[in-house]
């Protein structure tokens, strides 16, 4: 994650430099009836300075152009949504949508879907820039938060260690505890820390995907998948993803018997991408997790994998790769959207980014509705691409959807509600 963000720094700077005051549509709540896939799709648009949150249904119809935006009134902290906002990677089923304002804010924002009002906010920064990456609801009074950053000056206030999973009570909201992850790195040098990137509930089992880096981010070691016992909120198992580093993508198969993990690799400093440590792992979770199959990035193409990952149908993955820039800032290679048949290993390139790397982003599939979505910050003025899929996981030509047209922020991330 850190390496890919460094490669995107030039792009982010250019977008921020071009930012201008924008006319924001009025916030609009929704009342959506759940169907076989849930209620709809959360789209977060961002130019890395400001954000907007739109909602679609699974047919691609716009439900709300702006549920919340950087103009939305704060419920308590007096700070607007930043340009680094993401949804939970898991579908949210309640009356509120939780937005994760990652860096530097470190704030969870609870937005009422019906009224589009921020009803509560919870800081998970605890005195440092904790960079929360994911939020996993578990019960009315319990949820988990993955905090990516480690605090080098811990001990000044409660829950300020970082590099951990916080326990929160969303009904209050308040922090109620934390899960220490250092035991997942047993055997590694003491200057390496766990950095949780994704959380997932699979039939009541809680999994967390951890990257692992030296404290100065000069090097990385193999990522881990840990299972958390929700009865004790402690680690019940740790799987070392040997040779795979910078792992940030985690998805469950439609039958809930397999997990897929994608890893960008450990290219931490260079703007020229390297494939070492990048790949896909398929994990059997019928018992304790174990690696059943693996595809190195070199088997899938000539670029490291990106952050998008979803199961189109059992045995077929949708994922993306990261392009890169020349030293001058010009495009050197495009992002690519891939279809991977995990049984045969066959890879199909569905499309490439439209002339600019780092523009293909989030991926979301709803197998029971035979549809997948991908964000494309460039194509058709910045759109969400909707793919119909058949029973074998073959993709039709995409339909571009403009989730919001007045602000003009490019779509980056997807969630479900």
Q: Which tokens is 191 given?
A: 């200057």
Q: Does residue 13 register a pLDDT over 50?
A: no
Q: What is the pLDDT of residues 17-60, one digit of tens each?
A: 344 334 456 789 999 999 999 999 999 999 999 999 999 999 99
Secondary structure letter of residue 216 according to DSSP = T
What was the pLDDT predicted at 7? 41
Q: In what order do the strands lie in the sheet with 174-179?
A: 132-139, 142-150, 162-169, 174-179
What was the pLDDT predicted at 373? 98
The share of the chain scoring above pLDDT 70, in percent, equals: 93
**Nearest alpha carbon to residue 222 among 245, 201, 199, 255:** 245
What was the pLDDT predicted at 76? 81
Q: Does residue 169 register a pLDDT over 80?
A: yes
Let me know if 255 is exposed, middle or buried by CB neighbors in 10 A (0-12, 13-18, 19+).
exposed
Quick check: 307 and 4 in contact, CB under 8 A?
Answer: yes
CA–CA separation, 55 vs 411, rounded Å?
12
What was the pLDDT predicted at 25? 63
In the numeric block, the tokens 């993508």 are attached to 249
Structure confidence at residue 267 as a pLDDT band (50, 70, 90) = low
DSSP 97-121: EEEEETTTT-EEEEEETTT--EEEE
Q: Does residue 16 register a pLDDT over 90?
A: no
The residue with greater pLDDT, 219 or 250, is 250
Q: What is the pLDDT of residues 227-242, one digit of tens each?
A: 999 999 999 999 999 9
Question: Which range has the worst mean pLDDT, 3-12, 158-167, 190-199, 297-306?
Answer: 3-12
CA–CA separation, 343 vs 287, rounded Å?
21
Quick check: 195 and 172 in contact, CB under 8 A?
Answer: no
Q: Does residue 113 register a pLDDT over 70?
A: yes
Looking up residue 69, the CATH number of its domain turns out to be 2.130.10.10
Residues 6+ apart with CB under 8 A from 373: 41, 56, 362, 363, 364, 365, 384, 385, 386, 387, 414
Number of domains present in the structure of the chain: 1
CA–CA separation, 80 vs 118, rounded Å?
11
Q: What is the largest CA-CA distance in the chain?
A: 55
| Mean pLDDT estimate for the chain | 92
Average pLDDT over residues 97-121: 97
Secondary structure letter of residue 346 according to DSSP = -
Q: Does pTM top 0.85 for this prediction?
A: yes
Average pLDDT over residues 87-108: 97
The residue with greater pLDDT, 347 or 408, is 347
Q: What is the pLDDT of residues 272-324, one digit of tens each?
A: 778 999 999 999 999 999 999 999 999 999 999 999 999 999 999 999 999 99
Quick check: 407 and 45 in contact, CB under 8 A?
Answer: yes
- 10: three-class secondary structure by DSSP: helix
Let me know if 78 is exposed, middle or buried by CB neighbors in 10 A (0-12, 13-18, 19+).
exposed
Q: Does residue 75 register a pLDDT over 90?
A: no
What was the pLDDT predicted at 8? 40
Sign of CA dihedral 70, 76, 79, 83: negative
**Residue-range definition of the domain harbouring residue 311:** 2-416
Quick check: 417 and 97 in contact, CB under 8 A?
Answer: yes
């Amino acid at each position: 994650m850190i390496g890919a963000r460094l490669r995107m720094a030039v792009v982010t700077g250019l977008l921020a430099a071009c930012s201008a005051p924008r006319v924001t549509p009025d916030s609009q709540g929704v009342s959506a009836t759940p169907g076989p896939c849930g209620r709809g799709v959360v789209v977060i648009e961002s130019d890395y300075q400001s954000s907007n949150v739109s909602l679609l249904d699974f047919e691609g119809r716009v439900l709300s152009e702006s549920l919340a935006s950087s103009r939305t009134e704060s419920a308590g902290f007096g700070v607007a949504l930043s340009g680094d906002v993401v949804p939970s990677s898991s579908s949210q089923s309640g009356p509120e949508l939780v937005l994760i304002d990652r860096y530097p804010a470190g704030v969870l924002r609870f937005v009422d879907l019906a009224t589009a009002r921020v009803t509560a906010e919870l800081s998970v920064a605890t005195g440092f820039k904790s960079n929360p990456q994911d939020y996993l609801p578990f019960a009315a009074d319990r949820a988990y938060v993955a905090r990516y950053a480690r605090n080098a000056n811990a001990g000044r206030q409660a829950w300020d260690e970082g590099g951990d999973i916080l326990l929160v009570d969303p009904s209050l909201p308040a922090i109620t505890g934390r899960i220490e992850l250092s035991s997942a790195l047993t055997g590694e040098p003491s200057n390496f820390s766990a950095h949780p990137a994704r959380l997932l509930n699979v039939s009541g089992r809680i999994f967390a995907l951890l990257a692992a880096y030296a404290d100065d981010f000069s090097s990385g070691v193999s990522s881990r998948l840990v299972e958390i016992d929700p009865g004790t909120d402690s680690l019940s198992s740790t799987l070392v993803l040997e040779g795979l580093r910078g792992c940030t993508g985690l998805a469950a198969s439609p039958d809930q018997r397999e997990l897929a993990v994608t890893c960008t690799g450990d290219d931490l400093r260079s703007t020229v991408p390297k494939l070492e440590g990048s790949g896909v792992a398929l994990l059997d979770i019928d018992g304790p997790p174990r690696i059943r199959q693996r595809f190195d990035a070199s088997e899938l193409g000539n670029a490291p994998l990106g952050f998008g990952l979803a199961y189109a149908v059992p045995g077929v993955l949708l994922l993306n790769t990261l392009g890169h820039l020349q030293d001058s800032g010009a495009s050197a290679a495009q992002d690519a959207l891939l279809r991977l048949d995990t049984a045969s290993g066959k890879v199909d390139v569905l499309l490439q980014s439209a002339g600019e790397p780092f523009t293909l982003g989030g991926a979301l599939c709803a197998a029971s509705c035979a549809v997948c979505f991908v964000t494309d910050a460039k194509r058709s003025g910045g759109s969400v691409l909707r793919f119909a899929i058949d029973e074998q996981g073959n993709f039709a030509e995409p339909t571009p959807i403009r989730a919001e047209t007045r602000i003009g922020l490019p779509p980056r991330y997807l969630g479900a509600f």
